[in-house]
A and B are shown apart, each in its own frame.
Chain A
Amino acid sequence: MSAPGTSACAPELPPIRPEYERDLAPLDRAVPERPLPWRTRVLQQAWLRKGLILLVLAALWELLARWQDNELLLPTFTATARALGEGVWSGELIQKARLSLTLLLQGYLAGIGLAFILTALAVSTQFGRDLLSTLTAMFNPLPAIALLPLALLWFGLGRGSLVFVLTHSVLWPLALATYAGFQAVPDTLRMAGRNYGLTGLRYVAQILVPAALPAILSGLKIGWAFAWRTLIAAELVFGASSGQGGLGWFIFQNRNELYTDRVFAGLVLVILIGLAVEGLVFASLERVTVKRWGQQR
């Protein structure tokens, strides 16, 4: 590169060092494994860390309630826990929760089924794509509760209208998430699937759905939360006129009678069910699918 004449300003060359070879003796004593310190191991348990957060929140609640000292506005954590215990023990809360959950599941499953049909249509035809994008643009922003008066007119007072609004609240966000997931499936994987002669529904079910599962799962979670919210809100609005209500109705009734601790007990149960579904159902679903397959960390 640099001419010898310019050696004054040329960068100094590195020294030429001798070569060497070395015989590596086998390591007779393997590097011993060291167990992690117990504190790290304990804190690796997610449920423990989350449980700690819950405990702190409960303690804060208790302190705040005692400091405020007004049972009507903010009952203490212990009073709420007692009311919850009584409600569960008498079977009243269990029965209400079962009622709510049955309705919820019906609407949820109907929403999932419809979302699957819509997205399967959308991946196979241009008409399906246009239909899906138009319908989601129209109905996704529409609050389910706003449809309740209409649903009451159409389906009367009862399960029908509730299932209708629940389906509505699940269908659109899930369809959007599923379709987005389908579109993100890599081309190579699609071609590999078609290469085996997979077409139509088999192609959707055996290639697109598993490949898009991370997006579908997140859509299912969002749909679940929307449905749960919609159900409680709908029961608050119209449970009053239905003979037997679920958890929302329980909350509404007790608020009317100023049993604030039981209102809180109802709310806590709503939260607990939400936590259980998230922690047990969705977490295990993710563990045996997307986490195991390396699609999601």
Chain B
Amino acid sequence: MRSPATERTSVARLAPAAPLLQLDGVSLEYRTPERVVRATHQVSLDVYQADRFVLLGASGCGKSTLLRAIAGFIAPVEGEIRLEGRRVSGPGPDRIVVFQEFDQLPPWKTVLQNVVFPLVASRTLSRAEATERARDILAKVGLSPFAQAFPHQLSGGMKQRVAIARALAMQPRVLLMDEPFAALDALTRRRMQEELLALWAEVRFTLVFVTHSIEEALLVGNRIGILSPHPGRVRAEVNSHAWGPDSLGGADFQAAAQRVHRLLFEDAPGPARDASPQRLAA
């Protein structure tokens, strides 16, 4: 699929001087009936053009909240999020989200209509042009035979594929994915990861991908932001462009996974702090 060597050069070539998406000291809070909870604390990250940036963390590290803030559904209480230098102030079609849940597809629209809908709703394209682009993208994800099917007639993997096709058809500046494969079975998930990488190799979109799976992070991302929980803070940023579906199970892949694992869990506050010897290596 992709050899690590070509990958490295292409990333180097594509990366422009200024980051496409900047998170600058972003603190996010949400409110429960009793208290205000800080989800992330002064998170700063830079995402460059054609990055496959993975936000990795245990549950409760605010990675999904962070993604929703990038999408514009939540306003930061501190700091700001900039896309191409402009402050993000609300949801918009330049940042399309692929959610984990299967109910993100309106059930009253066929697969084709589902892909056409945002293009027309956001007034990006006329209906005819939108239909044409939708057919193209459906062919790309292998869903052409199902263009007239309704979402409830599709399997989970196919629904996610429609959601990805819909997002790609919008040609957003940043594609945001919130654990898109977490609700899929392991075999389908592996295939979807490979398909996503193949699509990236073809389209070179910019991706921000939230996951809690170390393996998925190494496989899908070229750079991983590791978040610590309660509240979410950036623990480390790790490069993972060398890994692809072929490197699974290799010794160096295992070592990288171990390292990420250590970064994720070692400094966890509380009783789990039973110091392992390599702790200083971080």
Contact = CB atoms under 8 A, between A and B. Distances in A.
Contacts of A202: 121
A196 B117 contact: yes
A196 B101 contact: no
Contact of A293 (B97, B101, B104, B108): B108
Interface stretch (B3-11, B23-31, B150-158, B188-196): B150-158
B96 interface: yes
B210 to A, nearest CB: 14
B118 A292 contact: no
A263 interface: no
Contacts of B97: 191-192, 195
B280 to A, nearest CB: 38
Given A191-B73, A294-B151, A197 B106 contact: no
B129 interface: no
A216 interface: no
Given A191-B97, A197-B92, A197-B93, A213 B103 contact: no
Interface residues of A, number: 22
Given A294-B150, A295-B108, A189 B117 contact: no
Contacts of B152: 293-295
B71 interface: yes
A198 B93 CA distance: 10
B121 A189 contact: no
A188 B99 contact: yes
Given A213-B108, A292-B150, A195 B101 contact: no
Contacts of A84: none
B122 interface: yes
Interface of A is mostly: helix
B150 A197 contact: no
Contact of A197 (B91, B101, B151): B91
Nearest to B117: A196
B107 interface: yes
What's the interface size class on B, roughly?
20 to 34
B188 to A, nearest CB: 19
A294 B107 contact: yes
Contacts of A294: 107, 150-153
A210 interface: yes
Interface in A192-234: 192-198, 202, 206-207, 210-211, 213
Contacts of A289: 108
Given A188-B104, A189-B104, A207-B106, A197 B121 contact: yes
Contacts of B104: 188-189, 191-192
Interface string A265-297: 000000000000000000000000100111100
Contact of B118 (A189, A191, A195): A195
A210 B101 contact: no
Contacts of B108: 210-211, 213, 289, 293, 295
Interface in A4-22: none
B130 to A, nearest CB: 12
Interface of B: 68, 71, 73, 91-93, 95-97, 99, 101, 103-108, 117-118, 121-123, 150-153, 170
Given A191-B68, A197-B121, 18 more contacts: A186-B101, A186-B103, A188-B101, A189-B106, A191-B97, A192-B104, A192-B106, A194-B73, A195-B92, A195-B93, A196-B121, A197-B91, A197-B92, A197-B93, A198-B121, A202-B121, A207-B106, A294-B107
